[in-house]
Amino acid sequence: MAENIRIALAGNPNAGKTTLFNALTGSNQFVGNWPGVTVEKKEGKLKKHDGVIVTDLPGIYSLSPYTLEEVVARNYLVGERPDAILNIVDATNLERNLYLTTQLVELGIPVVIALNMMDLVKKAGDKINVAELSRQLGCKIIEISALKGTNVMEAAEEAIKAAAQTKTVPQHVFPGPVEHAIAHIEEAVVHNLPEEQQRWYAIKVFERDDKVLEMLKIEANTLEHVETDIKAAEKELDDDAESIITNERYIYIAQILKSSYKKANAGSLSKSDKIDRVVTNRWLGLPIFAVIMFAVYWIAMIGVGAPATDWANDGLFGDGYHLLGIGSAAYEEAAEEYGDTPAILEALEAGEKSYVTVDDETLETSDPIEITDEMAEEAKAMAEKYGEEGPDPANYGVWVPGVPAVIGGLLEKLGTSEWLSGLILDGIVAGVGAVLGFVPQMLVLFLMLAFLEACGYMARIAFVLDRIFRKFGLSGKSFIPMLVGVGCGVPGIMASRTIENERDRRMTIMTTTFIPCGAKVPFIAMIAGAIFGGAAWVATSAYFIGMAAIIISGVMLKKTKMFAGNPAPFVMELPAYHMPTLGNVLRSMWERGWSFIKKAGTIILLSTIVVWFTSFFGWTEEGFGMLSEEQLDSSILAKIGSCIAWIFAPLGWGNWQAAVASITGLVAKENIVGTMGILYGSGDVTAYQALAQAFTTVAGFSFLVFNLLCAPCFAAIGAIKREMNNTKWFWFAIGYQCGFAYLVAFIINQFGKLFTGNVNIIGFALSVVALVGIIYMLFIKKYTEADKLTVNVGK
């Protein structure tokens, strides 16, 4: 069995590298950070080979040190020198992918090529002469399908065999003047290095690679000597050194493909191209994206997610539920028969001749209904039949009591104290349960987003949005962090490292968390369900409000001296459309979902305990102690909330409960739901009913928008601090996020009041001024001229 062998997995983004890594390592993965940087480092033990470690390098297009990912990958390959490189190549896009291969084979490390997506190539009728391609590149090639798991272990086994060799000999020969210069550089500069490494270093010296030149510390007279050869080659070939190498690599690749690759329908459009003519169309691209995202959120929030979440909230974390629905129909029939009996009996007892009904969702009362003698007799009969409490669901079918009922019964048997029962039931169960109740909706959403990413559609959206972003002075590269940030803001912020331009990178860091992350989904669902009757447009609007906030912020910031300049160029590979495997989609869904569940079991658990304690303890006339539900306004949390509630009053929700929920949301955005579950869920009404009473639709939407756009959770704030690497920039970012969120929520509330007839003249006037200011920055103010020099992130 092979021992102590390190295999590096290298390839272009979207070539299937992560899928291959998962297939090779399974659950034997461990995640850390690369030395000196916070870029995630993924390693894993090869299945059935405990002595073989597979390292998943960041997806890169070349070994040029332009982005942090390229720097990290190159430093590992050149400095750590793994025993073998498994280069995953997208067979549907050979020309682009082989550019990296031509560089890898020059490193003097054994290289094995895993030719991925061969099933798609064969399906299209194309032919690749693998033996000829292998001969011309000088390394072994294995045909695989990472998605279907075809030949993946064979590719790894071949890499283990290759590790026993000394090197892979590059077959590519540059034009005479270049080879002449490289030979001189090998002799004068890198002759002390191991023979297999000399060619790669010589080529990099020829390209005048800053990092290599800095590392080699070449003497001035030697550097002057080789510079003469480089300039001679540049003069003869009429181009700069780096461009010469780049062009020659593509000429070499074209020659290889001419003899080893034949397209079945040369010149005709592939299926992916035909689809792209529609989904990336200049006019249809964005509307199609809007429709798809609306469908995703409708299915996740209403179609499939809502019934599952209702079951979790009302059943699992509520009173209970009928197992497999057994008995639910009989209970509903009995409940319908029982009808308005409680209201009629209460009215008769009070001597009234009419009664009103209350809507369970909105708590709105009906017009008075006159009680006839027949209705009175029927109500008494129903009370006798079902009891004054009405039909008990536990008497129908197979009834499973909810978590609160089970824990409450257990605490009662143990004879626990009032405050401990309150902590567990009203604090932990109510708070954490309110958050976990939305897990079904989140899993459905993550499942659908994972499918869109895996099939290749999301890559197209980056392309569509680049065209739009560029009109506003932004780069489509900013969409990649946004896309990653849909799952979690932390990796989204870290993904900004792919942007070379320092100004654009900082601006992307500041605005990425405007996109709703997974942690905000329960909060969005709660507001949509409680205040807007579960309308799908609320969740979808949250996504597009985030995108609009990024565009608006980008335009305004680009017109300041701090961020002025041309947007970073955007180059992205569009993978062929393919049907992802169920296993990969489920794995992606579960990884995101499990991360959320773990957070609920740690951070949110601790937060709910703190919120409960500060909510139910305070000072009364008798002194400090536990409060009843009617005394919550005297609690510690109420006093703190009352001190800051005035800040949010112009936004329409100046009560201490909402103010406190927004602050606890800084710890973790899910905390907003947990806090509301505790503060609004006490008494005879549910949290949903209490929220419907506490917020108007305008104030509710203002509350939603503010918490979507303001500073993210502590983990993401920490990521912003690390990525900015500058205290002033960090505080500027947090200040801008909070200020922008406040301004937008303020405008929404003040303009929204126009439709409710409750206009505040001063507030409305200020909101008009704010809106005019934004419009001025967007459409009237000219872009500031600035130097075009971009800052290299990798330097």
The answer to whether 12 is a known ligand-binding residue is yes
The answer to whether 473 is a known ligand-binding residue is no
The answer to whether 195 is a known ligand-binding residue is no
The answer to whether 17 is a known ligand-binding residue is yes
The answer to whether 18 is a known ligand-binding residue is yes
Strand partners, 36: none
The answer to whether 204 is a known ligand-binding residue is no
The answer to whether 58 is a known ligand-binding residue is yes
The answer to whether 56 is a known ligand-binding residue is yes
State the residue for tokens 């704010």.
770
- Cα gap 568→502, rounded to integer Å: 9
- Cα gap 460→575, rounded to integer Å: 9
Q: Which residues of 52-70 are buried (b: 16+ CB within 10 A; e: fewer)?
A: bbbbbbbbbbbbbbbbbbb
Q: Which residues of 223-242 are buried (b: 16+ CB within 10 A; e: fewer)?
A: beebeebbeebbeebeeebe
The answer to whether 752 is a known ligand-binding residue is no
Q: What are phi and psi of 254, to 5 degrees?
A: -60, -40
Query: Which residues have a Cβ under 8 Å from the Cβ of 426 and sit 6 or more positions away?
Result: 612, 616, 678, 681, 682
Which tokens hold the place of 344? Answer: 């009629």
Neighbours of 189 (CB within 10 A): 22
Question: In Å, how far are 24, 37, 54, 110, 139 from 7, measured between CA atoms?
Answer: 11, 21, 5, 10, 15
Among 197, 199, 152, 150, smallest CA distance to 179 is for: 199
The answer to whether 119 is a known ligand-binding residue is yes
The answer to whether 36 is a known ligand-binding residue is yes
The answer to whether 359 is a known ligand-binding residue is no
- Asked if 390 and 338 touch (Cβ cutoff 8 Å), the reply is yes
- Cα gap 676→660, rounded to integer Å: 9
Query: Which residues have a Cβ under 8 Å from the Cβ of 242 and sit 6 or more positions away?
Result: 207, 208
State the residue for tokens 């609007």.
541
How do 49-56 and 5-11 pair as beta strands?
parallel
Query: Which residues have a Cβ under 8 Å from the Cβ of 77 and sit 6 or more positions away?
Result: 8, 10, 57, 63, 85, 104, 107, 109
By 3-state DSSP, what share of the chain in percent is helix, strand and coil, each rounded to 5?
65, 10, 30
Query: Which residues have a Cβ under 8 Å from the Cβ of 344 and sit 6 or more positions away?
Result: 355, 371, 375, 376, 379
Sign of the torsion formed by the C-alpha atoms of 537, 539, 543 and 549: positive
The answer to whether 669 is a known ligand-binding residue is no
The answer to whether 25 is a known ligand-binding residue is yes
The residue count for the chain: 795
Which tokens hold the place of 422? Answer: 């309150």
The answer to whether 26 is a known ligand-binding residue is yes
The answer to whether 116 is a known ligand-binding residue is yes
- Cα gap 254→247, rounded to integer Å: 11
The answer to whether 668 is a known ligand-binding residue is no
Question: In Å, how far are 96, 311, 572, 604 from 253, measured between CA atoms?
Answer: 9, 58, 19, 54
The answer to whether 626 is a known ligand-binding residue is no
The answer to whether 15 is a known ligand-binding residue is yes
The answer to whether 23 is a known ligand-binding residue is yes
The answer to whether 319 is a known ligand-binding residue is no
- Asked if 657 and 680 touch (Cβ cutoff 8 Å), the reply is yes
| CA 144 to chain CA centroid, nearest Å | 29
Residues of each annotated binding site:
11-18, 22-23, 25-26, 36-40, 56-59, 116-119
Q: Which segments are annotated as binding site for Mg(2+)?
A: 22-23, 25-26
Residues of the binding site for GTP: 11-18, 36-40, 56-59, 116-119
